[in-house]
């Protein structure tokens, strides 16, 4: 029973941990052309917006607060990690864009 409770708690924490945290680097980053770099940088804003939306007052967070309060903390922490990763990836991609003399 004790192990079942631990498993259930772990599943809840992971399930509540949204949004997606992007990888700062990808193996194919250096091969991207200027247009693809611009598209990747633009997509990062979507990830940041999604993360910011998870931090606000919404029905999902209200449910987490009532059912599993630590899930709300996990969501906020994960959202901050997602925003930081998106910011770091943007700096990284802009560095590549600069080396390739993209405008």
Q: What is the pLDDT of residues 77-96, one digit of tens each?
A: 888 899 999 999 999 999 99
CA distance 32 to 52: 28
CA distance 101 to 103: 6
Tens of pLDDT along 24-80? 999 999 999 999 999 999 999 998 988 887 776 665 655 666 666 676 667 778 888
Q: Does 10 score more than 60 pLDDT?
A: no
CB neighbour class for 65 (10 Å; exposed up to 12, middle 13-18, buried from 19) = middle
Per-residue confidence (pLDDT) for residue 75, from 0 to 100: 75
CA distance 94 to 103: 10
Per-residue confidence (pLDDT) for residue 57, from 0 to 100: 63
Indicate the domain borders of the chain: 32-103
* pTM for the full predicted model: 0.71
Nearest to 15 by CA among 64, 62, 51, 53: 64
Per-residue confidence (pLDDT) for residue 53, from 0 to 100: 79
């Amino acid at each position: 029973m004790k192990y079942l409770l631990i498993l259930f708690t772990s599943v809840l924490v992971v399930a509540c941990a949204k949004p997606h945290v992007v990888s700062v680097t990808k193996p194919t980053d250096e091969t991207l052309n200027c247009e693809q770099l611009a598209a990747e940088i633009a997509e990062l804003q979507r990830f940041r917006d999604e993360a910011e939306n998870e931090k606000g007052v919404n029905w999902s967070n209200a449910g987490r607060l009532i059912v599993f309060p630590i899930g709300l903390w996990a969501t906020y922490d994960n959202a901050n990690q997602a925003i930081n990763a998106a910011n770091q990836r943007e700096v990284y991609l802009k560095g590549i864009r600069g080396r390739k003399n993209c405008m």
